[in-house]
Amino acid sequence: DRKCDVHKLEEGPPLQAVLTREEGLQYYRTMQTMRRMELKSDQLYKQKIIRGFCHLYDGQEACAVGIEAGINLTDHLITAYRAHGYTLTRGGTVREIMAELTGRRGGIAKGKGGSMHMYTKHFYGGNGIVGAQVPLGAGVALACKYLGKNELCVCLYGDGAANQGQIFETYNMASLWKLPCIFICENNKYGMGTSVERAAASTDYFKRGDFIPGLRVDGMDVLCVREATKFAAEHCRSGKGPILMELQTYRYHGHSMSDPGISYRTREEIQEVRSKSDPISMLKDRMLSNNMASVEELKEIDVEVRKEIEDAAQFATTDPEPPLDDLCNHIFYNDPPMEVRGTNPWTKLKSVS
Amino acid sequence: MFYIRVTVRDALNQAMDEELERDERVFLLGEEVAQYDGAYKVSRGLWKKYGDKRIIDTPITEMGFAGIAVGAAMAGLRPICEFMTFNFSMQAIDQVINSAAKTYYMSAGRQSVPIVFRGPNGASAGVAAQHSQCFAAWYGHCPGLKVVSPWSAEDARGLLKSAIRDDNPVVFLENELMYGVPFEMSEESQSKDFLIPIGKAKIERQGNHITVVSHSRMVSLCLDAAAVLAKEGIECEVINMRTIRPLDAEAIETSVMKTNHLITVEGGWPQFGVGGEILARIMEGPAFNYLDAPAVRVTGVDIPMPYAKILEDNSVPQIKDIIFSVKKTLNA
């Protein structure tokens, strides 16, 4: 149990939490699945089976898993491009995520979106333009309030995005209109290759919302994240308006697969986080030392996860690419079929909704 | 036949009023749309009738509120996002293109964005360079958007209703100088379900000698020019595009195959513009062989809009420029 730093709040989330065995095993499984999925993607990228942008989430698993544990699937969530973990917690399968990375027809976006553009129900991606997802998330929250279904929107962005003007525009409107929006800054200390000290005049991201109450949370501890999220959700659902959470976390990989991640930080730093604050190890140790699970049980989960990832990778590498006649589809929704110009005037392609 | 005179402004107002009433998910947001009754009074009376929930005044933060509108559309509402003028939409253009237009495609059909971006576009009177740009070509360039440019009150009413009922992002380019212009509207067009299909042009005046294609306020000038030319025995076929994207190339081609001559008339700049697109399509299509002279464009002058009246007047096409270009084309 650890105390969160708070901003414009009388009190923070509870200092203690209850973790049931069931919950623990579920969080462990999901985080391990996320970890292995990202590491497998690293492999496939190096084999050139995944191409383009690939921003991996390993190290940050406690954030995605902890947040989902604090909300409902009927709530809404939007994030930026480091999105594979959230696609999983929001109902995507490893198979369809990996097949999207390899650009196959079985991908969650039929191969047309790629790493940064994956969507599920009540999950609005996957967004490539830094910061643009934040006004979108507040818009989703506006819809939640308008439709009166007691749902909220979790709206994520990184420490790099936190300096974007449109985020401050969003803080203003969300606060004025009391939108049920949990703004979450995943502070992994680096915006691409720029450390937080070099990018932000104030690195107290949980205070940057100014008039919006904020909390700073240990993002490597899945229970801290869960309890903070529950606290934040309660704040929103009670009609108090938006709230801001800073999750202090870390990414093991570089910014993307084209970044080795060691020109702007040391290997020692990465190693230290791995050995002292790894989210999966921390949960595992906690469960073992409290006799909530046995070593064998957790190993069995590891084996199952490994198999699931292997199967998914197999699918992702053998599923065919999308058919060429899908090229021009999905331009408009609910429209009659139309013609799309090809690369030359004689090529007329067909587009259906 | 029963006709009433309605200004473009009132037609837009009535269209929004009816669509707000018809579908609870429709709402309007933008600067001064509520308590001010709209910067140009297009949303007059709506806040009084529908209240804070449906008519929302925003702070002066286009990127933020356009993004909020797009997010609301993704989550099941049907927003009308007003830009006080489309010049300010440049602040928010990333949300229009990257968040709205491309999303249905990137998600392979999972996530649609039923939103309308509307507001005055193009030149006004004396508002100078930063407030006078035409964005038809910029938005018309992008797949995933529908771009509409009404001229008359009937256009405004029928196209805005269609835009609001469309399940896709629609950029709706109005014109400030047209807001106060009255048009006769038929009884039929007063029906609550009167819709004009997006993507279909209208022949405003039939003629055999030359096809004159235009959109928005310039249609008025083309009709005025056509009236003058008719006295000299030149009959222009004036086509009102109504929609920029998807462009009704077929209507233009059919006309050119009849008249054998073509000019386009627009308020925007010449380079990489609406006229350029039309001419390219004619080159590439069946109508090319029917041209007896090169097709040409009449456009705004290729400069930022000046302030002094004499300069401003000479920065946009005038009736005499259209007449001149028609005669040059016919004599060529």
Per-residue pLDDT of chain A in tens (353 residues, 90 and over written 9): 567 889 988 888 988 889 999 999 999 999 999 999 999 999 999 999 999 999 999 999 999 999 999 999 999 999 999 999 999 999 999 999 999 999 999 999 999 999 999 999 999 999 999 999 999 999 999 999 999 999 999 999 999 999 999 999 999 999 999 999 999 999 999 999 999 999 999 999 999 999 999 999 999 999 999 999 999 999 999 999 999 999 999 999 999 999 999 999 999 999 999 999 999 999 999 999 999 999 999 999 999 999 999 999 999 999 999 999 999 999 999 999 999 999 999 999 999 99
Contact of B58 with chain A, judged by CB distance below 8 Å, is answered with: yes
Cβ of A142 within 8 Å of Cβ of B72? The answer is yes
CB contact, 8 Å: A148 with chain B? no
ipTM over 0.90: yes
Give the separation between CA B291 and CA B260, rounded to whole angstroms: 5
Quick one: CA dihedral A269, A270, A275, A281, positive or negative? positive
- The minimum CA-CA distance between B246 and chain A, rounded to whole Å, is 10
Q: Does A149 touch chain B (CB under 8 A)?
A: no
The shortest CB-CB distance from B71 to any of A137, A332, A353 is to A137
Catalytic residue set of B: 62, 131
Q: Which residues of A touch B73 (CB under 8 A)?
A: 139
A-chain residues near B59 (CB < 8 A):
169, 172-173, 176
Q: What is the pLDDT of residues A107-153, one digit of tens each?
A: 999 999 999 999 999 999 999 999 999 999 999 999 999 999 999 99
In this complex, the residue of A109, A143, A330 whose CB is nearest that of residue B72 is: A143
B329: nearest Cα among B225, B218, B242:
B225
- Beta-carbon contacts of B261 under 8 Å, excluding residues fewer than 6 positions away, are B209, B210, B211, B291, B292, B293, B295, B329, B330
B66 and A334 in contact by Cβ < 8 A? no
pTM above threshold 0.90: yes
From chain A, the residues in CB contact with B61 under 8 A are: 166, 169, 172-173
Q: Does B72 contact A139 at a Cβ distance shorter than 8 Å?
A: yes
Contact residues on chain A for B286, CB-CB shorter than 8 A: none
pLDDT tens, residue by residue, A264-308: 999 999 999 999 999 999 999 999 999 999 999 999 999 999 999
Query: Which chain A positions have a beta carbon within 8 Å of B114's beta carbon?
Result: 333
Task: Inform me whether the C-beta atom of residue B95 falls under 8 Å from chain A C-beta atoms.
Answer: yes
Burial (CB count within 10 angstroms: exposed 0-12, middle 13-18, buried 19+), residue B39: middle
Q: Note whether B63 contacts A135, CB cutoff 8 Å.
A: yes
How far apart are alpha carbons A281 and A287 in whole angstroms? 10
Chosen for mutation from B54, B65, B107 (greatest number of chain A CBs closer than 10 Å) is B107
B64 touches chain A (CB under 8 A): yes
The overall average pLDDT reported for chain A is 97
Which of B54, B56, B111, B198 should one mutate to test binding to chain A, selecting the residue with the greatest count of A CBs within 10 A? B111
Query: Chain A 224-263, CB below 8 Å of chain B: which residues?
Result: none
**Helix extents (H) in chain B:** 8-22, 46-54, 62-74, 93-94, 103-106, 136-140, 153-165, 218-230, 249-259, 274-284, 309-313, 319-331
Dist. CA B115–CA B143, nearest whole Å: 15
Peptide bond into B246 cis (omega under 30): yes
Tell me the three state secondary structure of residue B131. Answer: helix
Three-state DSSP state, A277? helix
- A353–B109 CB contact, under 8 Å: yes
